[in-house]
Amino acid sequence: MQLRVGQGYDVHKLTENRKLILGGVEIPFDKGLLGHSDADVLTHAIIDALIGAAGLGDIGQNFPDNDDSYKNISSLKLLEATKLLLDRNGWQIINIDATIVAQAPKLLPFKCEITKNIAEIVQADVNIKAKTEEGLGFTGTGQGMAAYAVCLIRRT
C-alpha cells in the first residue's frame, strides 16, 4: 500500500465588507477574508495539502485566481473538485488534521459544523483546531488569518 503525507498552508488578510467563511460556515464577525474566491483560508490549506500529497501541483495551479470562473466561488466547491481530482488519480483520503490561526472571533461554537462540512466532502476523518497567537504577529493583531493542514492519502 502506497501512503503519502501532504501539508498545506494558507493566509488571507482580514478586511471590512466581506463575509467570514471558514469550512463553508459563515462566521458572524465584523470583517471577512480578502480573496478571489470566498477566501476560506481553512479549506484552501486543506486543498493544498491534498493536492500536494497526490503530487498534483498546488491550489494556484488547479484553481488560478486569474480565472473568473472561480470569482467568489465557495471553497467547498473547490474541495469537491479536489476530491474528484484525487479519485481520478487513484488516491483515497485517509485523514485530515488542520489548524486555524486567528485572534478573533472565537471559533469553538462553529467547529462541529465546519468539521462536518469538510468530512462530508472528503469522506474521511477530519480534525479541526483553532488557536490564537497571544497577540503576536499579523494574526495576533487581527490583520489576517492563517491555516495549516496535514493529510494522509493512500493509493487505491
Cα→Cα distances 44→33, 60, 63, 135, Å? 12, 10, 10, 24
Q: What is the number of H-type helices and E-type strands within the chain?
A: 5, 7
C-alpha distance from residue 112 to each of 10, 78, 93, 122, 133 (Å): 21, 21, 20, 15, 22
Q: Which pLDDT score is estimated for 112?
A: 98
CA gap 111, 75 in Å, rounded? 17
User: For the chain, what is the domain count?
Assistant: 1
- CATH, residue 139: 3.30.1330.50
pLDDT tens-digit series, residues 112-123: 999 999 999 999
Tens-level pLDDT at each residue, the chain (156 residues): 899 999 999 999 999 999 999 999 999 999 999 999 999 999 999 999 999 999 999 999 999 999 999 999 999 999 999 999 999 999 999 999 999 999 999 999 999 999 999 999 999 999 999 999 999 999 999 999 999 999 999 999
The residue segments making up the domain with residue 34 are: 3-155
